[in-house]
Amino acid sequence: MIRSNGLLVVAVVLGITSTSVAHADALGAGSGAFSRGDFESAARQLLPLAERGYARAQAMVGFMYATGQGLPQAYDAASYWYRLAAEQGDTTAQYLLGLAYDKGQGVPQDDVAAYKWLNLAAARAPKRLREHYAQLRNAVASKMSRGQIAAGQWHSLRWPGDSPF
């Protein structure tokens, strides 16, 4: 009995609930289905989690909308989900939102916004992805004026904040 009470205390302190465990299981199942290419199953698992605010699920749902895999292709829906996840700090979503701004897919084409999101992704990404994100940011920068690059850097530095994009 003491052991079960101890586990309950640990669970409460760590914020572990049966609901969060169920969400983690659903995220794992959805991610697994996504990895296997079973996008319809992934969408069924991930969309409810995305709607509940899980950034990883939001990024994956955005990608499925962008590519039309498991969900109808809709760039505006993709950018919506990317933004929600990116604003929570998901580096994959920041990277994908930056690409959306670069290409004008689901959002107005905007080099400064593209630079901002790619810069944030490059700064916070796992080491194995940092260089790739930085190369994409630099490719966007090659099309920009010094003033635009400075604006992109400024928006990156004040994120999260009152950025128009």
Same domain, 100 and 48: no
Q: Report whether 15 contacts 46 (CB < 8 A).
A: no
- Answer whether residue 164 is part of any domain: yes
Same domain, 1 and 47: yes
Across the chain, mean pLDDT equals 86
Residue 161 has pLDDT above 50, yes or no: yes
What pLDDT shows up at residue 9?
A: 33
Same domain, 56 and 99: no
Instruction: Examine the fold and report which residue of 73, 98, 117 is the final residue of a domain before the chain moves on.
Output: 73
Query: Cα–Cα distance between 76 and 74 in angstroms, integer?
Result: 6
Residue 142 has pLDDT above 70, yes or no: yes
Same domain, 68 and 105: no
Question: Residue 6 sits in which domain range?
Answer: 1-73
Q: Is the dihedral of CA 52, 56, 154, 152 positive or negative?
A: negative
Residue 98 has pLDDT above 50, yes or no: yes
Please identify which residue in the block is written with the tokens 């128009």.
Answer: 164
- Answer whether residue 138 is part of any domain: yes
pTM for the predicted model, two decimal places: 0.82
Same domain, 105 and 161: yes
**Residue 89, SS3 per DSSP:** coil
Structure tokens at 77: 């829906």
Query: Cα–Cα distance between 63 and 83 in angstroms, integer?
Result: 12
Instruction: Examine the fold and report which residue of 27, 42, 73 is the final residue of a domain before the chain moves on.
Output: 73
Q: What is the DSSP letter of 19?
A: H
Task: Give the total number of structural domains in the chain.
Answer: 2
Please give the helix or strand (H or E) that residue 84 lies within, else none: helix 75-87
Same domain, 32 and 61: yes
Question: Residue 159's pLDDT band (boundaries 50, 70, 90)?
Answer: confident
- Answer whether residue 111 is part of any domain: yes
Question: Residue 108's pLDDT band (boundaries 50, 70, 90)?
Answer: very high
Structure tokens at 124: 């916070």
